[in-house]
Amino acid sequence: MKKTSTRLADGRELIYYDLTDDSVRDAVDRRPLEPTVTTSEVRRDPLLGDSVAIASHRQGRTYHPPADECPLCPSQGERLSEIPDSSYDVVVFENRFPSLAGDSGRCEVVCFTSDHNASFASLTEEQARLVLDAWTDRTSELSHLPSVEQVFCFENRGAEIGVTLGHPHGQIYAYPFTTPRTALMLRSLATHKEATGGENLFDAVLERELADERVVLEGEHWVAFVPYAAHWPYEVHLYPKRRVPDLLGLDEEARTEFPKVYLELLRRFDRIFGEGEPPTPYIAAWHQAPFGMLEEFDGVNRDDFALHLELFTIRRTSGKLKFLAGSESGMNVFINDVPPERAAERLREVASS
């Protein structure tokens, strides 16, 4: 992998990740851009104890542009985009309309390929490995920023999810706090560790799932399963078999196997609802240990956390979506219409030939 860092016309950082070492990235952003002005502010809810990012400047962000005006495609001639070069393998750049900025963290866009009509599932294993390397590098770099406590790499795919740009891409949020979802896991870790005399909860969960009927696919270094208490109609958790706290902890064997396992998982997701159905909308979310202090979680350290990816769709059956209505949105109590065992069975049925 070759990494080349440069700057866009308004001062934002852009990084090329290339498969070959002989790639030259010296294209200049020729757009007449003014410096980016953001209004991001993080406010803490005193009742729930969580945080909300207030970012009114995002109202003006790019919304469903035609394909020939996509800001994530390479620049061609006089059609200038966020990527100055005429081609790329993987690109990461600071979001022009960030939810978090400055002392409130940082937001980045990750373009998986220059092919506008591709998807992550259509990448080669070599391309998918390059994305993994980019995620890992950005996790490392962002963790050293003084305002960052947790790094979250994710992909939203599909208009039903709320995606406003059709180009295959994901995002990275670098939060100035430990997110509520992660804090819940850390509290559960601490409680279980104390109650069992030191047993790791992630290890116990993984051992249980490996022995159950909800395993979807398994490699030498990774396993994917539908969790016992799945929240979403089709939800899969992907774990490295050797517990590590973050992407930086993966060894070379796990990194090498990841593309094959993850691409197969994504391709199965696109076959869940049968031929002729539009691509399955999904969210793919990496969970990594925070880089901040963990004193509030008694007896837990970063190495107790288990890196894992959660992949789920809001489509519950052909032509029907799962909406977060009263119980889910009002009380955070999910109601799942698809039994996890049936979801796992279906995902095994649609394996590649």
The set of catalytic residues is: 169
Assigned token pair, 4: 């080349």
Give CA angle at 337 (335, 338), nearest 5°.
125
Alpha carbon 12 to its chain centroid, in Å, reads 21
The answer to whether the CB of 49 falls within 8 A of the CB of 160 is no
Tell which residue, 128, 161, 115, 107, has the closest CA to residue 264: 128
Give the Cα separation of 324 and 314 in Å (integer). Answer: 9
Q: Which residue has the tokens 């900025």?
A: 101
Amino acid identity, position 304: D
Quick check: 153 and 172 in contact, CB under 8 A? yes
**Residue given tokens 């070379």 in the structure block:** 252
Q: Are 80 and 54 in contact (CB under 8 A)?
A: no
137 beta partners: none
> Hey, which residues does 317 pair with through a beta bridge?
320
Separation CA 37–CA 97 (nearest Å): 9
